Structures are given as C-alpha cells and as structure tokens.
C-alpha cells in the first residue's frame, strides 16, 4: 500500500501553527524571565537590567527582606487567606440554598447578585473610606488602617459571582444522595455538611484559589485603607518601596515580585487536581 503523500500546504500550515505557538510561549515567558534576571542584578537599576545578569547576586533578596517584605507577605497571606476562606463559606451556603430550595424571590435574588457584580468596588472607594473612618470611632479594630476592616470590604465584593459559579457545581450533584441521608435521619444541614460539601471539594478549591489570588495582588483598595508600614500588604509595600526610588531599587522590587509569585505557584501546585476537577465539573451539568 503506497504511503500517503504529505501535501506542501499542510506542512506549511503545521509549521505556521508551531511558529505561532512558540511566539506565544516566548511572549508569555519574556516578562517573567526579565523580572527573574533583574532580581539577581547587582547594579539594582533598570538601565543595566538583562535576562542573564552579569555577576548575579542574592543581595536584592536580602535587602528587600530587611525593608519589610516578610511582614508584608504575612499580612497578605492573612488578609487574603481569611477573606477567601470566609467567602467560600458564605458562597457555599448561598449557592446551596439557590440550588436546592425553591422560595419566593429566588430568581430575583440570583439576578440581584449578578447585577451587583457589574459595579466594581472602586466606584465606592470614597464611601468605603468614609464608612470605615466613622466605624473606627466606635470599633477601632475594623476601622481604617486595620486588616479586619480591609477583609470586610473584600468580602462585600466577592460573593456574587462566586455564588453563581458554585451553584452550577451544586446543580451537578444528584439530589438522591441528600435524600438518602435524610431518610437515614440526618438533618438538612447535616446532609449539606457531610454529603454535599465533600463532593463539592473541587469547586471549593477553585473558588478559594480564585479569590485568594485576586486579593493577593489587589492594590487600589488596600492602598486607600492601609496607611501604616507595618500594616501593608505585598502590593502596597512593593509600590511604596520604589515610589520615590524607582531608579535605585528596581532589583529589590523584582526580588519581592519573584517571591510573591512563588507563593502563588506553590498554591497552584498543591491544589491543581482539585482546580482542574472543579472547573470541568462545574462547566457542564450532569
């Protein structure tokens, strides 16, 4: 049997696809390699930055920790971790109610959640600032320049879309499993806690990671609320690190960015199986 002849046009199209793929990879990797090389640059300025620096050094990493990077990282993990965890808990309760129960105002409530999400929190920055300012007179621990005040603000803008996303996953879980638990004597909350939540672990991981990463890198709201250096999150701290020293702290800024990105990579690696499962199962109702 004669072998099939490969047409020149097909070879050209295949080569073009590979070329475009490699261009896309290079386009995505260049900024990361540029920042990584800058973090090892001993000159610590943008004029001498290159992907492969001459005489690489760890001095920038040591210097940025001396300027407070460790505190900023701890603050960021604290704020983003607590806000993401509470957001997952609230979204799970709301999504379960919208998925399983039929009540008056259910459809209107779902539409209201989506409508609220169309308005970004940045539109309310002045109102948020004034509200926290006045709250601080009566409850200083949730006023301006506090992490708990920032967490509460973050929670206000994270529930709507995540509840919709989680509801789609709950819809794919068979109701018969909960009905069997109820027949065996479980309460509705026990059925939710011991039957539904373990099965919904992938979407819980997805929501947590999405919310954590969003808050981990958020700058604008945090910069308005947090004013003390010891209260800074990572994005606010790194910005203020080079705000007036752009030319002589570029390497330190890059070192801080590399360390911050490394934590996100670790989180993705730890939860990658749950993330993939949650995105696939939540996309199509079974």
pLDDT surpasses 80 at 60:
yes
pLDDT at 49 over 80: no
* CB-count exposure of residue 212 (10 Å: 0-12, 13-18, 19+): buried
pTM equals: 0.85
* Whole-number pLDDT of residue 280: 62
Q: Does position 6 have pLDDT exceeding 70, yes or no? A: no
Q: Name residue, tokens 């890198």.
A: 217
User: What tens digit of pLDDT does each residue of 245-255 get?
Assistant: 777 788 899 99
Contacts of 75 (CB under 8 A, 6+ apart): 147, 231, 232, 233, 234
For the chain, domains (ranges, CATH) are 61-283 (1.10.3720.10)
Per-position b or e across 246-281, b if 16+ CB within 10 A of its CB: eeebbbbbbbbbbbbeebeeebeeebeebbeebeeb
Question: Does 283 score more than 70 pLDDT?
Answer: no
pLDDT digits over 140-171, tens only?
A: 999 999 999 999 999 887 787 888 888 888 88
Distance CA 244, CA 77 (A): 26
For the segment 97-118, what is each residue's pLDDT rounded down to a tens digit?
A: 898 888 888 888 888 887 877 7
């Amino acid at each position: 049997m004669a072998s099939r002849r490969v047409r020149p046009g097909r070879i050209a199209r295949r080569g073009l696809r590979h070329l475009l793929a490699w261009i896309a990879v290079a386009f995505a990797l260049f900024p990361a390699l540029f920042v990584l090389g800058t973090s090892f640059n001993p000159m610590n300025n943008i004029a001498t930055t290159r992907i492969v620096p001459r005489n690489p050094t760890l001095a920038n990493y040591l210097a940025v920790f001396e300027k407070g990077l460790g505190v900023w990282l701890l603050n960021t993990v604290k704020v983003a971790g607590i806000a993401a965890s509470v957001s997952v808990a609230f979204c799970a309760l709301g999504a379960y109610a919208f998925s399983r129960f039929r009540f008056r105002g259910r459809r209107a409530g779902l539409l209201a959640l989506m409508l609220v999400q169309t308005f970004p929190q940045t539109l309310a920055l002045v109102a948020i600032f004034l509200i926290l300012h006045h709250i601080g007179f009566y409850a200083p621990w949730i006023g301006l320049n506090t992490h708990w005040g920032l967490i509460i603000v973050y929670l206000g803008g994270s529930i709507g879309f995540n509840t919709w996303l989680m509801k789609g996953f709950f819809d794919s879980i068979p109701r018969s499993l909960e009905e069997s638990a109820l027949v065996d004597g479980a309460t509705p909350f026990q059925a939710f806690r011991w039957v539904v939540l373990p099965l919904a672990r992938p979407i819980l991981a997805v929501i947590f990671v999405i919310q954590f990463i969003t808050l981990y890198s958020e700058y604008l709201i945090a910069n308005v609320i947090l004013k003390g250096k010891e209260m800074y999150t990572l994005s606010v701290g790194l910005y203020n690190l080079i705000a007036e020293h752009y030319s002589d702290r570029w390497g330190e800024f890059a070192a801080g960015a590399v360390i911050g990105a490394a934590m996100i990579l670790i989180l993705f690696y730890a939860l990658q199986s749950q993330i993939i499962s949650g995105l696939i199962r939540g996309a199509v109702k079974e």
